[in-house]
Amino acid sequence: MIWLTLVSLLCSILAATVLVPVVRLMARRVGMVDAPDDERKLHREPIALCGGVAVFGSLLVGFVSTILYDRSFGDFDLGYVSARWYGLVFAAFAILVVGLIDDAWVMRGRQKLLLQILIISALVGSGTVVDKIGLMGFEIYLGSLAFPVTVLWLLVAVNALNLIDGADGVATTAGCFISLGLAVLSWEHGTPLGCIFSFCLAGSLIGFLFFNKPPATIFLGDAGSMVIGLLVGVLSVWGSVKGSTLLASAPVAILAVPLFDSAAAIARRWLTGRSIYATDRAHLHHLLQKKYGHFGMLFIVAGLCTLTTVLAIASAHYAMPWLALLGMILAGTFLVVTRSFGHAECQLLMMKASHMTRSFFITPRQSSLEKNHRCLPLQGSGDWNLIWEPLVDFAQIHSLAKISIDLNLSWLHEGYHASWSDVRMPDRDKQVQVRWPIVITAGRNQNTVNIGTLHVVASATSPRIHERIADLSLRLMDLEPQIQLIIAELERQHAAPADVRVAGIVPAPRYVGIERRAEPTPLVPSRH
């Protein structure tokens, strides 16, 4: 068996070193490249996509070569390839096609999610179903929930690897360690084909890493990251124990690093009121790269993956599931305590929890007088309190129920969230809600960029409420020069593209039962 693992690794690494340059050349010729922009994609030159094609191709080459070697020169240790392996390959190919379409034409988030659900549902329907949940030695049988829980788990795995793929070599490095860990787990639990397949995946990623390390000459793209996520998600189920068990401590611990990033992204967007499909530069790889540099980031990711993987394997070998949990806790604690990642999300959660807890114990009289106020720089060093404090003063003077601002200047690594509100909000059918997209023109091409949203809630029974909203528009115009100064100072600090000016804060009123959207044009206040 040891010889087979070496053959699988060597064949897949060699296949990757041959296929990656070919795929890179073809991608450049057909225009499948990731072009830089002024907001999120800050690499200087267009970088070839389609790396997932090379990884998937080299994986298949290594897997088939190892099976042929076993049948020709080995002892037939791998046995016959069952139908479920063909189903996995076809599902991975379908996910690859979806990713290529997204890389080429940029699909909407909900469209991509729907296609992922259809492909995963077909795979689960073919037999990859989780029968029970096992965690820390306890098992819960799912019964009729087996199908949706399995689909949900695979969706999480697919998108966790996709989200972490935002810097040179990060998803590839994490995928290498995850695959190696799953290979050892499969070996431990007596699934030789799963072991060899995992080693082949690790070998193809190792070969790809030679071209994907900083500075990368080819990216995985959505096609590659989603394929890796699907494969490791399925292998984590197949290789956990004999029988389909989800959330066994060891497989989850091996996937801990990308799962941390996904959980933090969802929490951050939910707590700040952003869309779940919103983009930002506050992911694990963004913050690690800014703090530790390119290679420091890869070193941290590799170290954390090593920690969680080693303890996960030890937990499976010694039947001590608490070791896997310890690895996840240590990795998460390191990131939060060093303020490398997750610190802002933890603060948001604690603020939300404290406000909710307080609402249960406050008296009606106190609720009419006291306010909930939170102000948190999520990322960066901009002095956004200069914008926020006048808005709070306005809300207090005009008796607004709530005012909040959420800023996301991704190209400057800036994020800011603040909220001021009554402890007891007006009933929903008596609320007036207004949202202003905060729009600027930025960069060499003077592209229009939405840097955030201002959200206002007031009681519909409040006298002259519409005049107060109009007054808020005027107040925002008075703050535009200050916004200009903050952005200009940040541009100087980050040496980002010049020619940035505020184009206007565009009101897009949304009242109860009526929704209107305004085009991003300069604000012309009106009291009509």
What pLDDT, on the 0 to 100 scale, is given for residue 500?
A: 45
Q: Containing H/E element for 244? A: none
Number of other residues whose CB lies within 10 A of the CB of residue 498 = 11
Q: Which amino acid is at 361?
A: F
Specify if 338 maps to a domain: no
Residue pair 177/331 in contact by the 8 Å Cβ criterion: no
> Does the CA dihedral 510-516-521-524 come out positive or negative?
negative
pLDDT at 507 over 50: no
Q: Is 20 exposed, middle or buried (0-12, 13-18, 19+ CB in 10 A)?
A: buried
Q: Residue 309 phi/psi, 5° resolution? A: -70, -45
Closest CA to 263 of 187, 328, 201: 328
DSSP 416-473: EEEEEEESSPPPGGGEEEEEEEEEEEETTTTEEEEEEEEEEEEETTSTTHHHHHHHHH
Quote the number of domains for the chain.
2
Q: Residue 15: inside a domain, yes or no?
A: yes
Q: Whole-angstrom Cα distance, residue 465 to residue 455?
A: 15
Q: Distance between CA atoms of 289 and 298, rounded to whole angstroms?
A: 8
Q: Given 216, 232, 249, which residue is the final one in a domain?
A: 249
Can you say how many angstroms the Cα of residue 59 is from the centroid of all Cα atoms in its chain? 25
Residue 64 burial class via C-beta count within 10 angstroms: exposed 0-12, middle 13-18, buried 19 and up: middle
pLDDT mean over 507-519: 35
Averaged pLDDT of the chain: 84
- Reported as a single tens digit per residue, the pLDDT across 384-427 is 999 999 999 999 998 899 999 999 888 888 899 999 988 888 88
Q: In 78-145, where does DSSP find H-type helix? A: 83-105, 109-125
Query: Are 343 and 286 contacting, i.e. CB atoms less than 8 angstroms apart?
Result: no
Residue 43 pLDDT? 59
Mean pLDDT, rounded, for 351-376? 78
Is residue 183 pLDDT above 80, yes or no?
yes
311: in domain: no
Q: Is the bond preceding residue 390 a cis peptide, omega within 30 degrees?
A: no
Name the band, by pLDDT with cuts 50, 70 and 90, for residue 446: low
123/91 Cα distance (integer angstroms): 6
Q: Tell me which residue of 88, 61, 137 sits closest to 238, measured CA to CA.
A: 88
pLDDT of residue 29: 93
Of the residues 200, 233, 249, the one at which a domain ends: 249
For residue 134, the cross-strand partners are: 139
- pLDDT confidence of residue 12: 97
Q: Is the peptide bond before 364 cis (omega within 30 degrees of 0)?
A: no
- Average the pLDDT over 26-30 and give the result: 93
Q: Which of 194, 217, 249 is the last residue of a domain?
A: 249
Residue 475 maps to a domain: yes
Cα–Cα distance between 126 and 87 in angstroms, integer?
A: 7
Residue 290: alpha-carbon gap to chain centroid: 17
Residue 371 falls inside a structural domain:
no
Domain that holds residue 380: 376-515
- 3-class DSSP state of 504: strand
What would the pLDDT profile of 113-165 be if each residue is shown by its tens digit? 999 999 999 999 988 888 877 666 677 788 888 899 899 999 999 999 988 98
Confidence band, pLDDT 50/70/90 cuts, at residue 499: very low
Which H, E and C letters describe 164-193, residue by residue? Answer: HCCCCCHHHHHHHHHHHHHHHHHHHCCCHH
Q: Residue 413 has which token pair?
A: 């690594």
Most confident of 12-21, 34-43, 166-175: 12-21
Residue 333 lies in a domain: no
- Does residue 242 sit in the same domain as residue 389? no
Q: Output the six-digit token pair for 157.
A: 């795995």
Q: By C-alpha distance, which of 318, 175, 334, 150 is closest to 254?
A: 175
Q: Is residue 224 part of a domain?
A: yes
Question: How many separate helices (H) and strands (E) can be counted in the chain?
Answer: 16, 13
pLDDT at 62 over 50: yes
| Residue 281 belongs to some domain of the structure | no
**Which pLDDT band, with edges at 50, 70 and 90, does 443 fall under?**
low
Q: How far is residue 89's CA from residue 128's CA, in Å, rounded to a whole number?
A: 13
527 pLDDT band, cuts 50/70/90, is very low
310: tokens are 């080693």
Would you state the structure tokens that stand for residue 452, as one six-digit string?
Answer: 């955030």
The pLDDT tens digits for 216-232 are: 999 999 999 999 999 99
